[in-house]
Structure 1
């Protein structure tokens, strides 16, 4: 049991590039948290990452239970449909949750986690980078206060698999299978929904490679368009969110590094644990994102 004076013990599930580059260094350096252990499906990978940050290593099914027992919360850096059942299990063990986006790529998988967290009364945060990176989170708050937006355009276009591209995330099987819709779609929606309201209507179509084009209507009455891709040419890449309304035009600023953003997500979880107040970007929001992306995928079809 934690008190306001004691750090939150946060275990890390996952040993891949995202865990190694972002989660582990952020948790090890956070003044309000202690990295209570690292779990991996491969014992060697868990031992290497844990040793780099002075934490215990765990692997296998028994090791996962050991990590839960040693932790107040679990941060997940695993493929979405691997993390979902493990997160539900962590919640049932009484652990708070920091989940990667998307929570799952099936509605049933995302609902499993949301219901487990609700039944266990644990706090949760879904790490949508733009919601926590200091510059972009401040921009979202500022534009939300302005309000009365007429329309918005969001584009997140990457080139993970293009000739000449150099990213260790290109080796991710789930990204290759599910593409930009599922990998970067949560980022775009996590900005648009708090500014324009929940989505009341959605259409979607496939473009070249893995590109998806979405047209959304929101509860505020505003509309938005979203373009998502990871298979674009290198020269075509970029990220933009542009709002237009009676007060003019607002553009999303460049954001800080992922480690700083993840540290802010840890801050958000700690606050939620201490206060008992749910964060807006929690597993219930993660479930809503999965519902919308699954609908878009079904409407767009295979594109063949």
Structure 2
């Protein structure tokens, strides 16, 4: 499968490009970016072609990986799907429900495969734990803490990201927490509460279709010494916590590439496809509405 990369920022350089170049069954064909000079530099680093016209790249490949801000990703994903390209997308799928729905509908209409990259869902230890807990009955409550120091530490390459500055932890790390809780506790039937904490920190309470409730604490402004992620489940089976994974994002992205290949070959949707990405966006938008006093 020939695959192109859309995007040239820090995430493209440190995660997507290395994963695509190392993947044994993906032919990393080229790079397009909104800054042609950056596309040239990244393409030269990995020995691929730099495209100055995104439509030319879409015509030359079977799939695209997207490492762009959510609003830009959503628009280009629709164009790529209409061009017949399979999609390796990033979270959040889009900054609005309308844009996310447009992506999911374009994927459905074009019949292309889609995978949205939620890191924890593509690490063997954590994905195995999620699958094991999903078949356990009697979960009573879940607790997820996703605390980053992007805005409070020194030197994060994502600290100047305009969309992160605007949307905050809810939209950046909230998708990670939801990608773990939803397959275990069931869909979030209601955002029961949402309040703001220090900086961009938010606290959510969700009601789940399976009868359980969950709490989420999300932040990009945590003290560096307090940063980290944890998920705990409590129910009739006792208490269990999400294990840590020794693998980094590049290995996880390689597995996401495997998932895209499998979905494209078999026609079977991956659990983290654009439809799931849409559902995560709907929950984030509902939470944002609660924070803004809309409900």
- TM-score under structure 1 normalisation? 0.93
Corresponding residue for residue 258 of structure 2: 267
Q: Structure 2 stretches of 5 or more lacking a match? A: none
Do the aligned partners of 1:150 and 1:246 also contact (CA within 8 Å) in 2? yes
Shift of the alpha carbon at 1:148? Answer: 2.6
Shift of the alpha carbon at 1:165? Answer: 2.7
SS of equivalent to 2:88:
strand
Cα distance in 2 for partners of 1:58, 1:154 equals 41
Do the aligned partners of 1:206 and 1:301 also contact (CA within 8 Å) in 2? no
Structure 1 residue 14 and structure 2 residue 7: aligned? yes
Corresponding residue for residue 267 of structure 2: 276
Q: Which of residues 117, 124, 129 in structure 1 aligns to 2:107?
A: 117
Structure 1 residue 298 and structure 2 residue 284: aligned? no
Cα distance in 2 for partners of 1:22, 1:161 equals 20
Shift of the alpha carbon at 1:200? Answer: 0.7
Corresponding residue for residue 186 of structure 1: 175
Q: Which of residues 22, 29, 35 in structure 2 aligns to 1:36?
A: 29
SS of equivalent to 1:74:
strand
Corresponding residue for residue 4 of structure 1: none
Q: Structure 1 stretches of 5 or more lacking a match? A: 1-7
Do the aligned partners of 1:153 and 1:224 also contact (CA within 8 Å) in 2? yes
- TM-score under structure 2 normalisation? 0.96
Cα distance in 1 for partners of 2:243, 2:25 equals 28
Cα distance in 1 for partners of 2:100, 2:144 equals 24
Instruction: Note the 1:107-186 alignment, pairs <5 A.
Output: 107-162=97-152, 164-186=153-175
Do the aligned partners of 1:243 and 1:249 also contact (CA within 8 Å) in 2? yes
Cα distance in 2 for partners of 1:74, 1:147 equals 38
Shift of the alpha carbon at 1:159? Answer: 1.4
Shift of the alpha carbon at 1:202? Answer: 0.9
SS of equivalent to 2:211:
coil
Shift of the alpha carbon at 1:199? Answer: 0.7
Cα distance in 1 for partners of 2:3, 2:114 equals 12
Q: Say how many residue pairs are matched.
A: 292
Do the aligned partners of 1:147 and 1:195 also contact (CA within 8 Å) in 2? no
Shift of the alpha carbon at 1:208? Answer: 1.6
